[in-house]
Amino acid sequence: MKFLIFGGNGLVGKELQTIITKHGHSVLATYRNNNADGQIICDILKYDDLKRAFEQAKPDVVINSTNLAGGVDFCENNPELAKAFHCQANKDMANLAKEYGARMVLISTDYVFDGTKPPYSEGDATNPLNVYGKEKLCAENYILETLGDKGLVARTTNVYGWDPHTKTPNFLIGIYPKLKAGESVNAPSFLYGNPTLAEDLAAAIVELCEKEASGIYHVVGPDYIDRFTWAKRYAEVLGFDTGLINEVANPPAVLVPRPFKSHLTIDKLTATVQTKMRGVEEGLQAFKDASLQSV
Ligand SMILES: NC(=O)c1ccc[n+]([C@@H]2O[C@H](COP(=O)([O-])OP(=O)(O)OC[C@H]3O[C@@H](n4cnc5c(N)ncnc54)[C@H](OP(=O)(O)O)[C@@H]3O)[C@@H](O)[C@H]2O)c1
């Protein structure tokens, strides 16, 4: 199969390319700022760039692994840009995927839920609380309607992996330098989720594509844990002082609304793929091994 990956330099984008190549498929990936060998430049906000990427790749499968730096807070403060990035660009991609006869994968989020009635399976009612979640849901709906059995939505959350040079650090990478320097960090115990190893997310998505799966799948790790407990265990596994992790028990007064408890279930995923989604213990060990290999 020929894959086209938008966001080839991101945490998940890099893992996708590794797995796709390992499985004997071909891949063309795009970058916007950070060039890497063999990648082509593409700003997903520009239709002509998207069209050129499709024309060059002539893909069987396209995966959108781009993300808007600044995340949920940035989206809330820049709703027009968030709409263009998370909804309109995905609509453009879906239309091009249809034109080129390609399958399309959107990597979506637990933020389509409000977090009031966990756990959530794929068919549960959505109710996004913020701009980011609303625009991702807009993209989900369009892709599923437009592409039918060639549209795949992979909802994920709390993605982590060893990626020290990233400009958009995941939670564990974000607290790493401070813990290493012996400085304290804050970790909310009111925020729960399923930690998801980027490598497993990528492997499961590729396997779903190979199986020509369509519709919505939750693609997350099996454990459901609060960030304070996760950070403590992280410090233990990496050999940092666990006393440096400060518990934040209550949400700050000013916080963009978000689901606090968005436990995603993976029964549908595990019944479909052989990829094992690693839990917290195995995942942290893999993170540690990768960090040791890179020094
Ligand atoms: N991380 C999580 O916890 C999480 C949770 C739920 C869903 N997701 C989804 O998972 C996917 C992958 O996330 P990630 O953590 O791997 O993201 P990431 O590491 O932040 O990478 C994002 C990539 O997007 C590219 N990009 C940004 N703006 C672009 C634009 N205008 N045009 C083209 N490319 C652009 C960047 O390219 P350059 O580096 O070249 O600028 C970067 O390589 C995203 O769709 C995200 O929404 C992630």
The answer to whether 87 touches 139, Cβ cutoff 8 Å, is yes
What would the pLDDT profile of 89-127 be if each residue is shown by its tens digit?
999 999 999 999 999 999 999 999 999 999 999 999 999
| Domains contained in the chain, CATH given | 2-169+193-222+262-278 (3.40.50.720)
- How far does the centroid of ligand 1 lie from the alpha carbon of residue 106, in Å? 12
pLDDT band (50, 70, 90) for residue 261: very high
Weakest-pLDDT range from 54-58, 140-144, 161-165:
161-165
Q: Is 272 close to ligand 1, i.e. is its CB under 6 Å away?
A: no
* Residue 295 pLDDT > 70: no
- How far does the centroid of ligand 1 lie from the alpha carbon of residue 90, in Å? 13
What would the pLDDT profile of 157-194 be if each residue is shown by its tens digit?
999 999 888 888 999 999 999 999 999 999 999 999 99
Sign of CA dihedral 115, 93, 214, 160: negative
- How far does the centroid of ligand 1 lie from the alpha carbon of residue 243, in Å? 32
* Residue 51 pLDDT > 80: yes
Counting ligand 1 atoms within 8 A of each CB, the residue from 43, 65, 155 with the most, and so the one to mutate, is 65
Q: Which ligand 1 atom minimizes the distance to the CA of 167? A: 20
7 CB-contact burial (10 Å; exposed 0-12 / middle 13-18 / buried 19+): buried
- How far does the centroid of ligand 1 lie from the alpha carbon of residue 69, in Å? 7
Calculate the CA 176 to chain-centre distance: 20
101 CB-contact burial (10 Å; exposed 0-12 / middle 13-18 / buried 19+): exposed
SS3 at position 292: helix
